[in-house]
Structure 1
């Protein structure tokens, strides 16, 4: 069994940044990626990286970024995570530039920054609408540079940073109560592998493939969430699912594919089937002072970005998604069940092609729509899970499992009830670095190499081959039923009766999944891969459904038709999921208090919408 100091599961932005940091700390690192190296879902992130560099508006600062993040998360964010993120994001962007990232520039040569929903100032450093691709390219090249440095130093082809591409981890193995390594299989050959390591960093991304309509790629089957649960860690905030307001809705073959928020950030407007710009009708009271109330006022903002009332299309994503959903339900949707997003009336054709090259290509090739002359047809799509592994904000370590770390979308707490656009890429960099740093330090402090228990490895191997028995259930049919259940019963608008029904269906699906039968052998067998992924998706979906039923309010990415208002009593509570004797249990856990200096960044009138007077007095003390 190969021995490493740190194993990183996932090779997106968080995983690669963690691996780079751990290697620079002297750790021997293995990176395991489910797809080909460089093909992680991070490449699909288009709009930019949120960081308060102040290159376009000098009024920006980490305090303003922190404030916007807390507002977007409806004050359910872990305040320490939001603080660290806002403070460290600029440094992480400048670091990328020194590593070779080619950002778009302002007229005076600085990194350009664009507007995005929920951000008070232009804050997103960008590379056209292909920012995620540039981020992965840069980090991948940095990994290669580290490997080359190892080769030069050792004089052979050995490196302290090894990539395992097209491998899947099915279990975290332990030595006593501590992490001892991972077990999994090579997707091409079906051969099993095990790596021993005292520290494991989960950077596996999200859970979107549990939903029928999603912008997520095929890898997003909740692997890291489930691996953490099975290892004894806890998940928090799993009820909060972000439905990105703008995914493609036509043709059916591309339904759910993301339409970047950059379109709205660069001036795109939303109109219903009547041609009316409807977002003015859907501005919540808590945001009314910050957003325009008429087209004339919105046009003033486009002409003068220092004007303090932004167009309502730049509301946080949860607000825009609910507004689109309301228009469609009211019968004012388009022919295919969406709304129109028009940027052609705001920008000339050559500017659209320069700023939004991927969107221009995507709609022309997939929908036969020229966005320089025609509106796009868009609607909400499952995009991001705010919930994830409970971690310490400073170290990204699980408090329940020594040696386990998590960063990026698989980690919970940073985004609260709703993530602002652009915060995901800076989240990957800030906490990916912290996870790699502290995983390496933890590994260096261990006096004995871990010894994965033989019985755990045997059990993991037996679990992996179990689908090759005499089962009668088909994995693809079960997956379709799971996606339909989550889409219909635990989607954008939730009701108690439907979520109870979802839990009943999920319980039946878990029992049926134990009877999955796979033909053939382990080589080149996607049916087997899906059968193993079903365990993860069903576990995580149960967390979402149970937490969503228990949280009796509407907040951020969680909307209850039967509890339509935010309840200040719920602001101080996270819902935490754990796996106990094979079943998901959900309990309330107090949210950390906001420090007085951070609380002072907000207006008392705004705070009164989230805090009772007694809570405010308590927090300020």
Structure 2
């Protein structure tokens, strides 16, 4: 159903609107459609350009195809340990239990996974996983997942609105204050015209916020839209201090600095060396991983030939540990010529093996850096990659504290705790995408009447979106974004200190003041400056959340490392930080919240 809102604004009506067309958004849309809902998918970019395609290594699922002893209990334990026990235990449990079925479902829908000699879905090793459990398609697993889900989405006839950006969530307001989702306000990026989606259920699947940092694997879309939309609608965020810096991003040439280098390189035998040619990861093994990590080159090399009886190479420690080790080598003056370290698979595998197992990496380095990874090492370094923090949701349904508002994928919080294991992202998308879609459709179907959108709220959303055209100021959105990225990179990076975090918050406040004087020229058609001005509102809010939570958490845990508080603190191991928009709507308030207690039957998995 379509029509016009006041002022000639296009209007569409659905039961469920999914914002974002990555793996979680597509899976949620499919689930909601199959549950009988009328569904639309709204995406900021083009269909097929989701960050899911960057998850190259595989989808983690305890299928036991290579190691029959692998099971959901071991996967659950690995996930909780990787997140340093800050994970929502129920989310981690559901993920581990349901991932194999969701992967098999993808195969039923046409995904072409690599196979074992017995014809089963092949699985590869990844950091932090006890067994090889990543179902993969070379190093293009995310691309195959998107292809499969898109094909099903199109076959089902689900409406898709591409290059359409949501700027505000619209609420049905009541005197009692129990505001519920009523729809979303958006604009077409090409024409600048506005569109209102009437829907009692909205699923946020907008991904992360890495474009607030200077060096990142994320592309232009990742500006924290879902996080900020949820905050302004009344939802809460958790774990925002935990930002994953992937250990291996390209460092040369400058045009591709930060571009992801898949963990599959290390999973297939790649090793890390410093400028002295030393394989340095043996010097950085944390005490709590020593029992299962090889402590000599000989022991590590044997592991690749006899994985059941030898301990894992230290290159396959969880990502936060590897990133910190690389950072330490660079700071000690043992980095590569362009400020990274060396990742070497050429001396470990044949050219044929590398081109077959890592075709995208071979092509990426050959075309972008003129490096043949079958003959020479890669220069890599940590890059801002993934947000563990996000919208607080119910683990069963992915419902936020706002009725009708759901969140899945990277924009949701709780599943990964303080650090995500590689490969858990892809299975996270399909496990909780399905659950969110089912729940959103059920909620919409159970309403006695549809919530109504106020004309005043539509007018306010329109005025907010057009505000940069009305300001007579000298502030350029591109300059503000560059200053924000530099501040977040320098002050809220991989290693943090209290004084620097305080400076970061002061800088964000100054940037907010400058953003209020931000102006754009031209008209609404094809105006990237206007688009960025809208995105900056989200990036500044999210940047404040990250810095504020990082300053409060006076310990080092997972993706959050404090130089002035170098170790984990047991007191902080039992609570999360929750952020919400303040009463004035100009910043965020923060409270502490106890982590839900884990049942005794699950605690036994950690007794060793």
TM interval, short-chain normalised? over 0.9
Alignment TM-score, normalising by the size of structure 1: 0.95
Partner residue, 1:127: 137
Partner residue, 1:165: 162
CA offsets per residue over residues 333-392 of structure 1, 9 Å max, x none?
Answer: 011110000011111000100000000000001111000010000000000000000000
Partner residue, 1:117: 127
Partner residue, 1:227: 229
Q: How many angstroms apart in 1 are the aligned matches of 2:339 and 2:551?
A: 27
Q: How many angstroms apart in 2 are the aligned matches of 1:11 and 1:22?
A: 14
Question: Deviation of residue 307 (structure 1)?
Answer: 2.1
Partner residue, 1:45: 55
Partner residue, 1:596: 600
Q: How many angstroms apart in 2 are the aligned matches of 1:445 and 1:402?
A: 12
Partner residue, 1:74: 84
Question: Deviation of residue 40 (structure 1)?
Answer: 1.1
Q: Residue 194 of structure 1: SS of its match in structure 2? A: strand
CA offsets per residue over residues 304-356 of structure 1, 9 Å max, x none?
Answer: 01124100000000000000000000000011110000011111000100000
Partner residue, 1:155: none
Question: Deviation of residue 603 (structure 1)?
Answer: 2.5
Partner residue, 1:431: 432
Q: How many angstroms apart in 2 are the aligned matches of 1:307 and 1:576?
A: 43
CA contact (8 A) 2:240 2:549 kept: yes
CA contact (8 A) 2:14 2:39 kept: yes
Q: Residue 493 of structure 1: SS of its match in structure 2? A: coil
Q: How many angstroms apart in 2 are the aligned matches of 1:307 and 1:185?
A: 57
Question: Deviation of residue 471 (structure 1)?
Answer: 2.2
The answer to whether structure 1 residue 175 and structure 2 residue 172 are counterparts is yes
Partner residue, 1:64: 74
CA offsets per residue over residues 234-253 of structure 1, 9 Å max, x none?
Answer: 00000000000000001101
The answer to whether structure 1 residue 279 and structure 2 residue 281 are counterparts is yes
Partner residue, 2:214: 212
Q: How many angstroms apart in 1 are the aligned matches of 2:591 and 2:515?
A: 26
Q: Residue 102 of structure 1: SS of its match in structure 2? A: coil
Q: How many angstroms apart in 2 are the aligned matches of 1:600 and 1:339?
A: 40
The answer to whether structure 1 residue 291 and structure 2 residue 301 are counterparts is no
Superposed, which structure 2 residues align to 1:25-44 within 5 Å? 25-44=35-54
Q: Residue 438 of structure 2: SS of its match in structure 1? A: helix
CA contact (8 A) 2:300 2:310 kept: no
Q: How many angstroms apart in 1 are the aligned matches of 2:441 and 2:73?
A: 30
CA contact (8 A) 2:342 2:379 kept: yes
Structure 2 unaligned spans of 5+ = 1-10, 174-178
Q: How many angstroms apart in 1 are the aligned matches of 2:574 and 2:589?
A: 19
Q: How many angstroms apart in 2 are the aligned matches of 1:24 and 1:217?
A: 32
Q: How many angstroms apart in 2 are the aligned matches of 1:113 and 1:224?
A: 32
Question: Deviation of residue 455 (structure 1)?
Answer: 1.1
Q: How many angstroms apart in 2 are the aligned matches of 1:15 and 1:298?
A: 39
The answer to whether structure 1 residue 460 and structure 2 residue 442 are counterparts is no
Q: Residue 605 of structure 2: SS of its match in structure 1? A: coil
Q: How many angstroms apart in 2 are the aligned matches of 1:15 and 1:394?
A: 17
Partner residue, 1:570: 572
CA offsets per residue over residues 475-523 of structure 1, 9 Å max, x none?
Answer: 0000000000000000000000000000000001011101111000000
CA contact (8 A) 2:21 2:50 kept: yes
What is the root-mean-square deviation in Å for CA atoms of aligned residues?
Answer: 0.6
Q: How many angstroms apart in 2 are the aligned matches of 1:515 and 1:73?
A: 41
**Aligned mate of 2:562, from 560, 563, 567:** 560
Q: How many angstroms apart in 1 are the aligned matches of 2:403 and 2:226?
A: 16
Q: Residue 432 of structure 2: SS of its match in structure 1? A: helix
CA offsets per residue over residues 14-64 of structure 1, 9 Å max, x none?
Answer: 000000000000100010011111111111110000000010111100000
Q: How many angstroms apart in 1 are the aligned matches of 2:211 and 2:553?
A: 23
Alignment TM-score, normalising by the size of structure 2: 0.97
**Aligned mate of 2:321, from 319, 322, 333:** 319
Structure 1 unaligned spans of 5+ = 148-160, 605-621
Partner residue, 2:536: 534
Superposed, which structure 2 residues align to 1:232-381 within 5 Å? 232-381=234-383
Q: How many angstroms apart in 1 are the aligned matches of 2:75 and 2:473?
A: 53
Partner residue, 1:83: 93
Partner residue, 2:409: 408
Runs of 4+ in 1 over 6 A off after TM superposition: none
Q: How many angstroms apart in 2 are the aligned matches of 1:254 and 1:2?
A: 40
Q: How many angstroms apart in 2 are the aligned matches of 1:567 and 1:46?
A: 34
CA offsets per residue over residues 510-541 of structure 1, 9 Å max, x none?
Answer: 11101111000000000000000000000000
Q: Residue 204 of structure 1: SS of its match in structure 2? A: coil
**Aligned mate of 1:6, from 16, 22, 31:** 16
Q: How many angstroms apart in 2 are the aligned matches of 1:554 and 1:307?
A: 32
Question: Deviation of residue 2 (structure 1)?
Answer: 1.7
CA offsets per residue over residues 445-489 of structure 1, 9 Å max, x none?
Answer: 011122111111111000000000212200000000000000000
Q: How many angstroms apart in 2 are the aligned matches of 1:449 and 1:566?
A: 48
- Number of residue pairs aligned between Structure 1 and Structure 2: 590
Q: How many angstroms apart in 1 are the aligned matches of 2:403 and 2:313?
A: 47
CA offsets per residue over residues 238-291 of structure 1, 9 Å max, x none?
Answer: 000000000000110100000000000000000000000000000000111110
CA offsets per residue over residues 139-180 of structure 1, 9 Å max, x none?
Answer: 000011111xxxxxxxxxxxxx21000000000000010000
Q: How many angstroms apart in 2 are the aligned matches of 1:183 and 1:112?
A: 44
Superposed, which structure 2 residues align to 1:484-499 within 5 Å? 484-499=486-501
